[in-house]
Structure 1
């Protein structure tokens, strides 16, 4: 079958250049979509299910890494193999080493023809190997493992960049509503949930909104007690009553003091294993 690819690049000239270069080194590759932001990349990748994704690291709204993370979580169970991801980056060599450890391929800007040819050769080989695999779950399992490694490598660098004051564990959440600031002990929080430009802070009997990102909060939380279970959810491990897996393999959590159930994504499902 003819290989297909999607390009996500917010600079139109660079996207056009990559498309032209790909046509020269891999004429049989069909570019099914060219988009300029991460949200569009996720939407079109889920709709078209291309074999290869070329993702720019820096894009408005959602980065290439966040796009890959979202796709790993949302890729349908009954779909084909998860796309092979090639990150396109202007990062320095230190960051590139993180991509290599995670077993993803990458292209540095400005693009070098010889490097692109090498990447395409690797992609062709891997696609040929996939053609004899049964189903796509094996490939998806591998990409989930790679995403964990890559996110861990990236997260460590981000945390190292915080000053000493920010590195201490957070004890109190100051949630403002009108003229009132509620002092919410972190120990009382059952879970945090991303909500647009805010984070919902949920306790047993109340909910608060704080103007922050979940990523910023994660840098201040004790990760031994607060577990990320989804790109948009972090739960206090002591608040979890049980974890149930349905026939399709979807994992959900029952909480001790709340009636709602929380969904665990593929990226974090390995936290829940019987002893």
Structure 2
């Protein structure tokens, strides 16, 4: 039997240490492969280490725990950690998802560990479906709390002394890569901008641009076909783009009606 692995993400280092110490006592064989202080670090560490468990604080800089959970692939099971998100806690209760309320007590963590021990040995299909359904409820509610920005019509991309004006209708997809977001256009050109995917998604027409991955937004006008591989993972083929794009499990439901 392989050693179970986990990641802990929280922007308060002392809370990370506290959870590490409690887990070491309650689940000695659990190996913490990484810790993160913001959502971007958490997403990168999950992609790198593919841990069995990811303890995600809901309120983090960069990306929230909910947004990080959107991009989780494979068998990683998410445990949300929160101090005051009452609506989120109600949703987690109804979906029977794992969550911890701050301050995390040994008694509450002990009950959670009992469930997690069994869960890391089980097939992920059922909890994954519940997670996707819950995120679909929570993320629009979180977005609705913010004022709606004006829709983007143009993307400004600077290259040296030249600034390119790219119409959003010409964009095939946006892909985040480290510090930049790559803008792929129908003409085959690529531009780099610093606007993060989450900010772009909030400003683009949601009927035209769909987020299909934590790091990817696609223009449905260029969608050519979809494909499922041997592992049942969904891939997209876009006109004007050479490579196929993967769809995270939290977004697969968007394509069921197509």
**Residue 34 of structure 1, CA deviation:** 5.8
CA contact (8 A) 1:175 1:208 kept: yes
Tell me which of 204, 211, 221 is aligned to 2:186: 204
Gaps of 5+ in 2: 37-41
Instruction: Determine which structure has greater relative contact order: mean sequence separation of CA pairs < 8 Å that are 6+ residues apart, divided by chain length.
Output: 2
TM-score normalised over the length of structure 2: 0.77
Q: Where does 1:40-189 land on structure 2 (aligned, <5 Å)?
A: 40=45, 42-44=47-49, 46=50, 49-50=51-52, 52-58=53-59, 64-70=65-71, 72-73=72-73, 75=74, 82-123=75-116, 127=118, 136=123, 139=124, 141-164=125-148, 166=149, 168-189=150-171
The aligned residue for residue 30 of structure 2 is 31
1:5-16 matches, within 5 Å, as 6=6, 8-10=8-10, 11=12, 13-16=14-17
* Kept in 2: contact 1:12–1:36 (CA 8 A): no
| 163 and 114 in structure 1: CA distance in 2 versus 1, 3 angstrom threshold | same
Tell me the TM-score normalized by structure 1.
Answer: 0.73
Structure 1 residue 226 displacement after superposition: 1.4
Name the SS of the counterpart of 2:87 in structure 1: helix
Residue 220 of structure 1 and its aligned partner are, at CA, apart by 1.4
Displacement after TM superposition at 1:2 (Å): 9.6
Structure 1 residue 179 displacement after superposition: 3.4
- In structure 2, what is the Cα distance between the partners aligned to 1:262 and 1:217? 18
213-222 or 33-42: bigger deviation: 33-42
Q: Secondary structure at the match of 1:88?
A: strand
Distance 1:196 1:95 in 2: 29
C-alpha separation in 1, matches of 2:56 and 2:89? 14
Distance in structure 1 (CA, Å) of the matches to 2:230 and 2:33: 36
Confirm whether residue 266 of structure 1 aligns to residue 237 of structure 2: no
Matched pairs, number: 250
Which structure has the larger Rg over C-alpha atoms?
Answer: 1
Name the SS of the counterpart of 1:30 in structure 2.
coil
